[in-house]
Chains A and B, each alone.
Chain A
Amino acid sequence: MTENVNHDLKVDYTRDELARQHFASGLRSYVLNSLSGNMRTVYTKKVEPAFKKKNKRAPKTAPEIHKALKPETIFKFYSAMRCNTQEMCFRSVIPGIEREAEDLARRVKILGQNTEKAQGTLTVDPKLQIPRYVSELDVHLMAGNYHEEHIPDDVSQGAIFDNGLSVFAMGFLGPRMDDITQSVSTYFTKRYPDFKPKKILDLGCTLGHSTLPWKERYPEAEVHGVDVGAPAVRYAHGRAQSYGVTAHFAQKDAEHTKYPDASFDIIYSCMFLHEVPKKNIRAIFKEAYRMLKPGGVMLHYELPPNSMLGAYDSFYLDWDSFYNKEPFYKAFRDMDPQDECAAAGFKKGKYFQYTAPSLNFYGADAIDKAVADAKIHTDGENHMGRLVDGVQWFTFGAWK
Chain B
Amino acid sequence: MFAAKAKKTQTKLRDTVKGKQYRFFDAQGVDELVSICMQMSQELWVVKERLATLEAVAAKKGIVLADEVEAYAFTPEQRAVVDEEKQKFIDRIFFTLREQSEALEIGADEPEGPTLA
Query: With an 8 A cutoff between CB atoms, is B67 at the interface?
Result: no
Per a CB cutoff under 8 Å, which of A80, A91, A331 touches B34?
A: A80
Q: Is the CB of B24 within 8 A of A20?
A: no
Give the interface SS of chain B, mostly helix, strand, loop or mixed: loop
Tell which of A66, A77, A79, A151 touches B11, judged by Cβ atoms closer than 8 Å: A151
Is B117 interfacial (CB 8 A cutoff)? yes
Please indicate the chain A residues that have their CB under 8 angstroms from the CB of B15 in the complex.
91, 94, 143
Q: Is B66 an interface residue (CB 8 A)?
A: no
Would A20 and B18 be within 8 Å (CB), given that A63-B117, A76-B25, A137-B110 are in contact?
no
CA distance A14 to B41 in the complex (A): 19
Inter-chain contact A141/B38, CB cutoff 8 Å: no
Which 6 residue pairs spanning A and B have beta carbons closest together? Answer: A327-B113, A101-B11, A19-B49, A76-B24, A19-B46, A23-B45
Sort chain B's interface into a size bin: 35 or more
In the complex, A132→B15 CA distance in Å? 20
**Distance (Å) between the CB of A65 and the closest chain B CB?**
11
B111-A277 in contact (CB<8A)? yes
Within the complex, the shortest CB–CB distance from A79 to chain B, in Å, comes to 5
Contact partners of A67 in chain B: CB under 8 A: 116
Knowing A27-B38, A27-B42, A81-B34, the reply to whether A133 touches B111 (Cβ < 8 A) is yes
Interface string of B1-43 (1 = CB under 8 A from A): 1010110111111111111001011000001001100110111
Cβ < 8 Å to A, chain B residues 40-57: 41-43, 45-46, 49-50, 53
Q: How far is the CB of B31 from chain A (nearest CB, A)?
A: 6
Interface size class of A (residues with CB under 8 A): 35 or more
Q: Given A14-B6, A136-B111, are A156 and B35 neighbors across the interface (CB < 8 Å)?
A: no
Residue pair B5, A99 in contact (C-beta under 8 Å): yes
B residues 96-117 near A (Cβ < 8 Å) are 107, 109-114, 116-117
User: A85 with B13: in contact, given A138-B18, A321-B113 (CB under 8 Å)?
Assistant: no
What would be 26 A-B contacts, judged by CB atoms less than 8 Å apart?
A14-B3, A14-B6, A15-B53, A19-B50, A22-B45, A22-B49, A63-B116, A75-B24, A76-B24, A80-B24, A80-B31, A84-B35, A85-B38, A88-B38, A88-B39, A88-B42, A101-B10, A132-B111, A137-B18, A137-B110, A138-B17, A138-B107, A143-B16, A143-B17, A156-B13, A327-B114
